[in-house]
Structure 1
């Protein structure tokens, strides 16, 4: 990334239609210029290379994640020992990034891949990072039906009121046939479980 590329990964909140973006709050420690590190973070999770070599185009206005807020505090060193220490002054940062949800659509695996995938953990100059929060606009949540019953509905169906609901996962958490699952579920329910989950690892 060239110095003149950095600004394209920053934007004032008021300049964006925030219904088109998730807001991601990251804390990280970086080496070098925090502004450059934050721009790399936004780039790596969205456009990365934003144009083809030799072609006059720029996909950043539509597809790039944008840094909305960046707070940086100097540190004497990284908070945990690192095998390879990137060069430059160390800062602890908090960044709020707007990520266009059109990049991945209403698909949670794609969302997780974008905001917690390879790009985030290989952003140059950022060896330590944590995603603290995701803000979802109403336009994104509208794609999902939400829970079938909700907490109130589950309580009503189970006739459990005035105490916590007890939930447990049957182990092994994948591979049991119904005939093998049934006695384990029965034992759990007789032991006080309200809900026994049978598909912790089942994704299809």
Structure 2
């Protein structure tokens, strides 16, 4: 039996919904805007996309997006399409053109969002997925139980390599598990990548020699393919245990090639996610989007955070985290670690734990650690104690009575 790719959409259209579904199916497979003699019935049966399901949800009298057909009303639907694997083979770049290509631009469409994706087993055979995932990340970060407590170097940009290393010195001395570059920190003349890695890893390695704990640092190596390979090799040579790439910047091929080359966990940042998702009437849900990046090899995936500083709702963040923790497909569970960030403090520990019921996550706090009145070590301790309280089911205020750093943190977190 032929393997098929299935994608689900929320669709809004000003024309007959079945006609719109057929137009999308044709545009994304064997058809075009006019009938062609070469598109025989046999060819369409072999290579055409199929409308598997079309369910009417309701109607509205105003289009969600500009530029489409004018109509007296617009119908909203759930649409499921499928394609034979023979159209593209198990190729994620070509899959992207098929499930998320020109269909968004069709004039029959006044709203379209990709909400689900089911891939056949051949994709699991073609793409290795994360090399480290949850278990490997815990091993390399030296954190067997509980969340990995992390932070981001702040200010995001502007610090020279030695100043960056001084921040790292305070953080590792304070008991942090994980540190990452901000996605804006690349390889600028003020803080060159090579100098930053060497300066930071001197601190990390010295601390590891003294204490036996090597803090995981995710260095942002985002760049051209050759640059990323070379930067990875430098991090590895200096004893580093993680590299970071910005997914929307390096693209599908960039992450795939990095995964093929890498001997370290890949921390995947989703900067730019808002332009793919912020409108509920256009773009992607997180669940299908993260499936593709996990197949390509992301070990950690950002999911925002509860009560974040951005526009995303808590419900959306929780759904994203659950998606990252769920199997990509039965043939390829490909476990990855969700990364919670954006305006995080220990106040989010209990609701985060309650939402996902596990601690297989990285919880990063910038100001929530750096801003502690007792200093960085107290900030790290307060975050860790907040998570201990969450895991033990103890109210934060009660737990804080026996932990001064947490008690002081509650005053400035709120």
Give TM-score scaled by structure 2 length.
Answer: 0.39
CA distance in 1, matches of 2:67, 2:34: 34
- Give the match for residue 197 of structure 2: 182
Match among 185, 195, 198 for residue 218 of structure 2: 195
Alignment coverage as a number of residue pairs:
185
Shift of 1:52: 8.3
Distance in 1 between the 2:195 and 2:95 partners?
35
1:8-47 aligned at under 5 Å gives the runs 17=1, 20-47=3-30
* 1:154 to 2:137 alignment: yes
Give the structure-1-normalised TM-score: 0.73
Superposed CA RMSD in Å reads 3.3
User: Given the alignment of the two structures, is residue 66 of structure 1 paired with residue 50 of structure 2, yes or no?
Assistant: yes
Higher relative contact order (CA 8 A, sep 6+): 1
CA drift of 1:55 comes to 4.6
> Separation in 2 of the partners of 1:169 and 1:132?
31
Could you report, residue by residue, the CA deviation over 1:172-195 in whole angstroms, capped at 9, with x for unpaired residues? Answer: 4655664244168659x79x7653
Which structure 2 residue ranges, 5 or more long, are not aligned? 151-178, 208-214, 223-245, 258-414
Q: How does 1:58-137 map to 2 (within 5 A)?
A: 58=41, 59-78=43-62, 80=64, 82=66, 85-87=69-71, 89-117=73-101, 119-137=102-120
Q: Which runs of 5+ in 1 are unaligned?
A: 1-16
Deviation at 1:64, TM superposition (A): 1.2
The structure-2 alpha-carbon separation of the partners of 1:123 and 1:152, relative to structure 1 and needing over 3 Å to count, comes to: same
Greater Cα radius of gyration, structure 1 or 2: 2
The answer to whether the 8 Å contact 1:170/1:198 transfers is no
User: 2:198 & 2:17 partners in 1: Cα distance?
Assistant: 56
CA separation in 2, counterparts of 1:128 and 1:25?
Answer: 14
Residue 146 of structure 2, aligned match among 163, 168, 173: 163
Determine helix, strand or coil for the equivalent of 1:121: helix
- 1:32/1:87 contact within 8 Å kept: yes
Displacement of 1:137: 2.0
- Which has more strand, going by share of residues? 1
